[in-house]
Structures are given as C-alpha cells and as structure tokens.
Amino acid sequence: MRYSASVVLMLLALGVVSCSKPAATPAAPAPAPAADVKKVLEETCTQCHKLTRIQEYKGSEDWAAIVDRMINVNGAKVTPEQVPQFVAYLEKTFPKK
Ligand code: HEC
C-alpha cells in the first residue's frame, strides 16, 4: 500500500512536469494569417481547375484526403507547411455536412 501510494505520487509528479513543458515551448513558425492562407490557396488550387470545383464540392471525402490527392496524384505544388493550413481553412470554410 505504501509502495503503490508513492508510485502514484511519483507518476503524478512526473505527469505535472511533462505536461507543463510543452506548453512553455513556443510554437514553431506562427501559422500564416487566415487572409493569407485564403489568398495562397486560391492561387495554388486554381491552377488546374476553377475555385468553384472546391466551393461546389459535395463529396464525402475529407479535405485532408483531397489535398493529398491533388498533390500526390494530380501534381499540385503544395509545401508540407501549407498542407495543414489549407486543410484547416477548407474544413472551416467548406465544412462537411
Ligand atoms: C496540378 C493540378 C491541380 C491542382 C494544382 C489542384 N487540383 Fe484539384 N483537381 C485536379 C484534377 C485533375 C481533378 C479531377 C480528378 C480528381 O478528382 O482527382 C481535381 C479535382 C478536385 C476536386 C473535386 C474532387 C471530386 O471528387 O469531385 C476538388 C474538391 C479539388 N480538386 C480541390 C483542390 C484543392 C483544394 C486544391 C489546392 C490544394 C487543388 N484542387 C489543386 C487537379 C488539380
């Protein structure tokens, strides 16, 4: 009983230490402001088809899967940093159902 209580305390202490650390670490490069993401996405994603293709997309595929297909199948030039920004923007602007 004494043993397990001190193990629990130790784990709690470790938990507090390891949880507080990432919060203190400054986030990597700040994400581009929403307006910029919109502009860059509209330039990047209209090279092969119109923006309406995106605005009118009614399918069930996740935006992450679509962006991935545009890059890996269709050859869209999107940097790895832009992928999460585009996906977040698309999910917010054209939410599924
Ligand atoms: C290099 C050319 C190219 C670029 C750049 C491109 N696409 Fe596409 N896109 C295509 C082609 C080709 C299709 C039709 C075939 C398909 O659905 O994969 C398509 C179709 C789509 C569709 C319709 C999919 C469906 O199932 O009806 C969506 C939505 C879409 N693109 C979104 C995007 C987004 C978002 C971007 C920017 C990240 C983008 N596209 C950039 C070539 C491109």
If you take atom 37 of ligand 1, which residue's CA is the nearest one?
Answer: 45
Mean pLDDT of the chain: 83
> Is 22 a domain residue?
no
Whether 67 and 75 have beta carbons less than 8 Å apart is answered as no
Asked whether 59 lines ligand 1 (CB < 6 A), one says yes
φ and ψ of 48, to 5 deg: -115, -25
Question: What residues make up the domain containing 67?
Answer: 34-93
Whether 66 and 57 have beta carbons less than 8 Å apart is answered as yes
Looking at the 3D structure of the chain, how many domains does it have?
1
> Where residue 5 falls among pLDDT bands split at 50, 70, 90?
low
CA of 63 to the centre of ligand 1 (A): 11
Nearest atom (ligand 1) to Cα of 63: 35
> Where residue 27 falls among pLDDT bands split at 50, 70, 90?
low
* CATH assignment of the domain containing 41: 1.10.760.10
pLDDT in tens, 58-96: 999 999 999 999 999 999 999 999 999 999 999 999 997
Asked whether 76 lines ligand 1 (CB < 6 A), one says yes
pLDDT for residue 39: 96
CA of 47 to the centre of ligand 1 (A): 9
> Is 62 a domain residue?
yes
